[in-house]
Structure 1
Amino acid sequence: MKWTYRPALDGLRSMAALVIILFHAGVEWVPGGFVPLDLFFVLSGYLVTNVILSEIDRKGKLDLGRFYARRVRRLLPAAILTIVGVTLIFLLLTSVVRRLEVIGDAQAALLYYANWHHIMQSTDYFAAEQVSPFLHFWSLSLEEQFYIFFPLLVIFLLKLKSKWALPVGLTVVFLASLASQVYWGRVDEMHAYYGTDARLYQIVAGALLAVAMRSPRFQVSRRWGTVIAVTGFATWVLLIGPWLDLTQSNRGIVAMVACTMLVGGLMINDQQLLSRAVSARIPVYLGTITYAIYLWHWPITLVLQEFIATSPETLAVLVGVLSVAMAAASAELLETPVRTSKLLDGHKWKVVVAGVGTSALIAVFFVPWALEKDRQPSLVANGGANQTTSVQGVAAETAAAEAEDVPSGIDWAAIQADKGADLPCEAEDPTECIVVEGDGPHVLLVGDSHARMLAPMFREIAEEQGWTFSMNVLAGCMWQPDIVNLQSPQARIERCEGIRVGWYDEKLPQLDPDVIVLVSQDRLASKAKMRNLEARDDVREPIERTILRSTRETLDTITQHVDHVVLIEDVLTPDTFRPDECLATATTAVDCVVPLPVDTPGTSAAYITMAQVLDNVSTVNLNNAFCPSAPTCQPVVNGEVVWRDRYHVATDFAVARREEVWKALEGTGAFS
């Protein structure tokens, strides 16, 4: 089948962009609204393959310089404009602590490795709170990586001088990528979603479709083309809606089949009703600017969500209108002039070097310069400062009287980066987990990120008190072995299992500590936190019961091997707001105080109860040490920022309060 432009393909693009906008706006009836990306991938593979093979048919070879220059002129101008524009918008509207978090995202987007960047950062695309305006560049990065290697692969396969080399070669790549998707879908869902190796099969499916349809042997009737297209479209719609219960990985595989059928069916019969519907003037026009619509829709969504409280449907309409307006302006004023420039046609490789070089310079110099600026935002979003609304009466007056000024020149990047130290005790000889050797008692610290944030403080105390100090600490890994934290990547879950399941029976006696200190974030504090947990052994019971059961069983095991167990009660953190952002936007620290809870937190209550019934088990509350201004807790104490984020104390602050912490620990009698 001869390749010619088909407006229906542009219509498909606009339809996919609409669904993505609905999904990102939070519209509930499109829970599979990420599936249109699969259509983008199939379309990209189909179109770029036809472009390459058509040139080879006409000229006998592919002009690589021209191909890459056309890609640069098509993709980079709009992408650079969006990234620079969004960077400046976020410089004006958000605090430095928010901006510091996305510097790496912007740089990865400019250099087209965003998908691998998010894998390394363990970014959950489906998390409720996604605040990076550059997150959506992951799919564009994957496509750009494909555009770099694919023409080289085609040239290599055609040089083999076999009519089967190209389809067989592409089939091998397709099957290898599909196998990677199946593997990572079971091992690490984030890699399965972002990884080039795991998603390439969808683009290559489009390429194989193009190769097949260009073959003289390809004969499918127009009637069957209609059946194929309608079946593919219906399946695609089912995948977008709430009707099919599939894993993310399986949904993507089915979507690839559906999208390939949809594109192929429309190409076989471009006169069918579905083709005429998506070939209407407005869908086709929107399809021609879909790239820029996609670039702008996500940052616009984030900005509107920050400052406007409205329904998801209304938000989607606003995002759609603004995205189309920005995309139309971008196409008219920048993209089309660059893409159609006769002057640039004669400078193929220079265009490539200039485009890539410009992206690199902006990534290295402009992005850090702009996003690291410590300036107050021009507008403060809903829920920023003024957290004292929950502090009333005398407590509010006391908090205001004791509040310190917000220190100038706070190094927010250093505070965010200093998370303490993970030290999972995985060694065959657990004595290798000793980090301080002294003449006093041997103290072992075990827990998750709350243990990690306190580890530098405990190390300082150990050196001052002459302890031997060891650690078995891994963020996201509770000290109770029967609980799985589903928010962790699969690799971390498996690592957690290795340092918890059976460890207290097998390795703890070899380490032989005198005191074991157990620390975990309070997971009983909210249903949202408990939803991210499940029993490791698939016991069918409420997760709060699993936590309590595992706590008791683990303590029974530990007390057989250790003289004293110290349970750290819940350490107060803001939870409901970001203290770093609050401080960065507040005029006075009193805007960011946190009241001590009146009721005992769930985990702390369970610890206290177990300490009463188990010998040699004590609890200690560190909030008096960390909150000297009780009943309200200041965000700045003696010039030190108290909280790193909404769930963790800053490690430097914990170290600064070690004398008060030691007094609390000494009161348990466990460290004599």
Structure 2
Amino acid sequence: MSWSYRPALDGLRTIAVYLVLLFHTGLPVAGGGFVGVDLFFVLSGFLVSNVILSEIDRTGTLRIGKFYSRRVRRLLPAAVAVVVATCAVFVLISSVTRRLPLIGDAQAALLYVANWRFLAQSSDYFATDVEESPFLHFWSLAIEEQFYFVFPILLLLLTKATRRWGWALLAALGALFALSLGSQLYWAQVDTNHAYYGTDARLYQLLAGVLLTVALRTWHVQVRRRTAELLAVGGLVLLLVLGSGLPPLSPSWRGIGAMVASVLLIAGLSLRDDGVLARGLARPVPVFLGRISYGTYLWHWPVILVLEEVLVVSPKIVAVLAVGVATGLAAASYEVLEMPIRKNGFLDRFQWNTAVTGVAVSALVAVTLVPWALQLDRKPALAALDSASGVAGVATGKPTRLPADVDWAKVEDDIGDEGSCSAADVARCTVVDGSGPHVLLVGDSQAQMLVPMFESIAEKHDLRLSLNVQAGCPWQEGLANKKSSEKEAQKCEDGRVGWYDEVLPELDPDVVVLVSRPRDEPQWARTIVRRDGREQPLEQMTAETSRETLAKVEKVADDTVLVERMIMPETFDPDECLTSASEPSACAVPVPLGTSPTDALYIAAAAEDPALHTVDLNPAFCPGAPVCQPVVGGEIVWRDDHHVTAQYAVSRRDQVWKLLEKTGVFGAAG
């Protein structure tokens, strides 16, 4: 098969991009629409390898500088424009606290490492939900660019090395395909996020397109029109079924199926261009939409996020608006920006210089303009105050003032410290080695935010302090948090299962302080489970596993202190509120009424067992009750909707110590 332009393949891009767009709007009919990305990958591998092999056949070699120059001129201008425009829009509609995490996302997008950025964030308990990032969709473009950077040289070397043996090129590429597919299947069992974002686990789709190119060029396949039509239509039907989300498949197997569908579809359209489907896709409208599909893909996700930010409408309305706006922006970008740069004859003279300059401009924008814009501390001009639906307007008592020049990045990062140890290295648990009573702090991220405070208390009162603290990990040995990533879940299991039997006796603390975020709301019933697999109501599960763990703790420690629920905003982000509201008092949080199920469990257990004690730290952290101010003594109180800042906790250490002393355990311990 000799390569020539096939307009139907441009039309195929149209199907791919709108599958992704409809999926991102949340339409049920496109519940698996992310397979459009899989189609893009296979099609990219097919097209780029055809371009490379055609040049090698024609000239005997590949001008690498010219290839890179074409890629840079094709991809970077639109990408930089979208990143800059997105930063500008989000300055208008979002608070600085929401924008700060986006700096790294935008930089990773411009440097084409976004997939690794989002993979790292998926294992970070405190990372902003990646689905809130307007740069999320750059993960797939990053994989393609990484492929484009390495593959031309690799294919050139393989072509030269296997010139006498046509089958050897297929064999070598097939081996790479098998390795990547094996990586996908492995990570699908170990870490689904890596299976989705990892370059190694996704290359098989690009290589499937390359293998199709080499196979068609090597074997010169000739088929009847009906056969080609059956291949193309069969592939399209399979792709659309997978894109509907109806088959109950994992993302990994759905992606493998989409790869097979894409190969069939592209093969059918490439072998014969006179079929009904090929002619339909080659019509002017789908061809034009396919040519601007790169821009549509770049624009669609930030457009959807903005629409959802400023409008309260159904996914259908969002879909209609997103299609119109993203397509319009892409068409304008294609005509005004992309094509003039791609067709500029002057730039053809400076191939390597053009490539290097383009990358340098992208990097310069990443390190200068992006952080400058997203760090601007200004109130959103277009977005409504999120707290208006929560607590704004409550009677707040004494007014508060926001400190000048708050370092919001520092506030967002003020998460406290983790700490744990194994039976092989028990000493690692101890962080303050005082001569007084030995206190062990155990818990999740709410314990983590208190670690610097407990360290300060231990140093001041000559206590010995040890830790078993890990974000997202309940102190109950028998509970697992399905909301955690695979890496976090494994870390939690290592730090809890068997720890109370093996490590706790070696530590031999006098007092164990247990702190966890109460998980009483109905939504937690879907994510908090028993490690042994038994299904129980959330309250019963919490009660049983709490009693089981407390029994193990009491075998070792003289006293156990259960920290009751700490007052948190829960329904809104107080820092975003502070950067948006005219007065900090609008972001105050009322003291909740009643006793939570977890607190009731603690109080009942303490009433029955003299070695168990409860402590309410809210009088220390909320001195203005019944309303808790977001700024106390010049300190920002909360870093998000369910954590105080570690710095604020340290500032309240004396008040907390008085509350701990009232339990009576520290005078008696040791």
1:651 has 2:650 as partner: no
Q: Is this contact kept in 2: 1:427–1:433, CA < 8 A?
A: no
Deviations 1:444-472 (A, max 9, x none): 01111111001111111111111100001
Q: Would the aligned equivalents of 1:22 and 1:313 in 2 still touch at CA under 8 Å?
A: no
Aligned residue among 246, 249, 253 for 2:249: 246
Which residue among 583, 586, 596 is the counterpart of 1:588?
583
| Corresponding residue for residue 542 of structure 2 | 547
Inter-partner Cα distance in structure 2 for 1:436 and 1:151: 56
Helix, strand or coil for the counterpart of 1:561?
coil
1:547 maps to amino acid: T
| TM-aligned CA distance change 1:405 to 1:382, over 3 Å | closer
Tell me the residue number matched to 1:139. Answer: 140
Q: 2:362, 2:274 → 1: CA distance?
A: 42
1:669 maps to amino acid: G
User: Cα distance, 1:427 vs. partner?
Assistant: 5.4
Asked whether the 8 Å contact 1:223–1:269 carries over to 2, the reply is: no
Q: Secondary structure at the match of 2:391?
A: helix
Deviation for aligned residue 1:344:
0.6
- In structure 2, the CA distance between the partners of 1:318 and 1:241, relative to structure 1 (3 Å rule), is same
Give the Cα–Cα distance (whole angstroms) in 2 for the partners of residues 297 and 145 of structure 1. Answer: 22
Query: How far did residue 382 of structure 1 move?
Result: 5.4
Supply the distance in 1 between the matched residues of 2:657 and 2:166 (Cα, whole angstroms): 77
Matched, 1:82 2:82: yes
% of aligned pairs identical? 51
Alignment check: 8 A CA contact 2:479 2:530 kept: yes
Correspondence for 2:513 among 510, 517, 522: 517
- Residue 362 of structure 1 pairs with residue 359 of structure 2: no
Give the gaps of 5 or more residues in structure 1.
Answer: none
Partners of 2:415 and 2:449 within 8 A in 1: yes
- Cα offsets for 1:552-578 (capped at 9, x unmatched): 111111111111111111111111111
Distance 1:614 1:252 in 2: 55
C-alpha separation in 1, matches of 2:92 and 2:245: 38
Q: 1:545 offset after TM fit, Å?
A: 2.8
> Deviation of residue 217 (structure 1)?
4.6
* 1:295 pairs with 2:298: yes
Per-residue displacement from partner, 1:495-538 (whole Å, max 9, x unpaired)?
211110011011100010001111111111x2223322222221
Matches within 5 A, 1:228-239: 228-239=231-242
Structure 1 residue 384 displacement after superposition = 4.5
Structure 2 vs 1, CA of residues 20 and 316 (structure 1 numbering), >3 Å: closer, same or farther? same
C-alpha contact (below 8 Å) 1:422/1:475 kept by paired residues:
yes
Distance (whole Å) between structure 2 residues aligned to residue 286 and residue 266 of structure 1: 18
Letter in 2 for 1:136: H
Report the counterpart of residue 534 of structure 1 in structure 2: 529
Superposed, which structure 2 residues align to 1:462-473 within 5 Å?
Answer: 462-473=458-469
- CA distance in structure 1 between the aligned counterparts of 2:391 and 2:194, rounded to whole angstroms: 41
Rounded Cα–Cα distance in structure 1 between residues aligned with 2:560 and 2:451: 17
Q: Which amino acid aligns with 2:335?
A: E
Report SS of the residue matched to 1:409.
coil
Aligned 8 A contact 1:10 1:288 in 2? yes
Task: Tell me what 2:31 maps to.
Answer: 31
CA–CA separation in structure 1 for the residues paired with 2:620 and 2:66: 66
Q: Judge which range, 382-391 or 570-579, deviates more.
A: 382-391
Q: Which moved more, 1:444-453 or 1:92-101?
A: 92-101
1:547 positional shift:
2.3
Matches of 1:218 and 1:522, distance apart in 2: 64
Deviation at 1:304, TM superposition (A): 1.1
1:654 match: secondary structure: helix
1:214 aligns with 2:217: yes
Structure 2 counterpart SS, 1:517: strand
Deviation of 1:85 after TM superposition, in Å, equals: 1.1
Q: Deviations over 1:350-394 (max 9, x none)?
A: 101100110111111111111112122222335245743573xxx
In the alignment, structure 1 residue 497 sits paired with structure 2 residue 493: yes
Counterpart CA distance in 2 for 1:295 and 1:655 is 44
Q: Which moved more, 1:179-188 or 1:129-138?
A: 129-138
Partner of 1:424: 420
Quick one: distance in 2 between partners of 1:326 and 1:427?
Answer: 59
Structure 2 partner of 1:487: 483
Distance in 2 between residues matched to 1:297 and 1:615, nearest whole Å: 61
Mapped partners of 1:29, 1:613: distance in 2:
55
Amino acid at match of 2:290: G
**Per-residue CA shift, 1:2-24, capped at 9, x if unaligned?**
22212221112112211212111
Q: Which moved more, 1:208-217 or 1:590-599?
A: 208-217
Q: Superposition RMSD on alpha carbons, in Å?
A: 1.7
In structure 2, what is the Cα distance between the partners aligned to 1:557 and 1:427? 16
Task: Report whether the alignment pairs 1:455 with 2:447.
Answer: no
- Counterparts of 1:339-488 in structure 2, within 5 Å, are 339-381=342-384, 383-384=386-387, 387-389=390-392, 391=394, 396=395, 399=396, 401-426=397-422, 428-488=424-484
- Distance in 2 (CA, whole Å) between partners of 1:467 and 1:382 is 45
Q: 2:186 aligned with 1:183, yes or no?
A: yes
Aligned to 2:13: 13
Partner of 1:152: 153
Q: Contact conserved, 2:8 with 2:278, CA < 8 A, in 1?
A: yes
Query: Does the aligned pair in 2 maintain the 1:95–1:585 contact within 8 Å?
Result: yes
Q: 1:159-211 CA distances to partner (integer Å, 9 max, x unpaired)?
A: 21332332111111111111111111111111110000011101111111111
Distance 1:273 1:535, change over 3 A: farther
Gap change, CA 1:221 and 1:426, over 3 Å in 2: farther
Matched to 2:528, the amino acid is: L
Distance 1:403 1:95 in 2: 22
2:667 is aligned with 1:666: no
Q: Choose the corresponding residue for 1:613, options 601, 604, 608.
A: 608
**Cα distance change on mapping 1:657 and 1:260 into 2, 3 Å:** same
**Which residue of 2 is the match for residue 62 of structure 1?**
62
- Return the offset for 1:275: 2.3
Aligned to 2:51: 51
Deviations 1:135-173, CA, capped at 9 Å, x for gaps: 111110100000000001101111213323321111111
Which amino acid is the alignment partner of residue 517 of structure 1? Answer: V
Offset of residue 646 of structure 1: 0.8
- Paired AA for residue 155 in structure 2: V
Q: CA offsets, 1:317-345, max 9 Å, x none?
A: 11111111111110111100000111011
Q: How far 1:88 moved relative to its partner?
A: 1.4
Q: Which moved more, 1:8-17 or 1:425-434?
A: 425-434
Measured at CA, do residues 280 and 609 of structure 1 come closer, stay the same or move farther in structure 2, by a change above 3 Å? farther
| Partners of 2:265 and 2:598 in 1: CA distance | 53
Counterpart Cα distance in 1 of 2:641 and 2:601: 23
Structure 1: distance between partners of 2:593 and 2:332: 55
Matched, 1:326 2:329: yes
Counterparts in 2 of 1:583 and 1:613: CA distance versus 1, 3 Å: same
Partner residue, 1:167: 170
Query: Are the counterparts in 2 of residues 385 and 585 from structure 1 also a CA contact under 8 Å?
Result: no
Deviation at 1:648, TM superposition (A): 0.6
1:549 deviates by 1.5
Question: How far off is 1:60 after superposition?
Answer: 1.3
Alignment CA distance shift 1:388-1:220 (3 Å): same
Do the aligned residues in 1 keep the contact of 2:121 with 2:130 (CA within 8 Å)?
A: no
Match of 1:279 in 2: 282
TM-score, normalising length from structure 1?
0.96
Tell me if structure 1 keeps the 8 A contact 2:561–2:612: yes
Distance (Å, rounded) in 2 between the aligned partners of 1:540 and 1:385:
38
Q: Check conservation: 2:589, 2:628, Cα contact below 8 A.
A: yes
Confirm or deny: 8 A CA contact 2:423 2:502 kept in the other structure.
no
Structure 1: distance between partners of 2:341 and 2:236: 35
Please say if residues 480 and 528 of structure 2, whose CA atoms lie closer than 8 Å, have aligned partners that are also in contact. yes
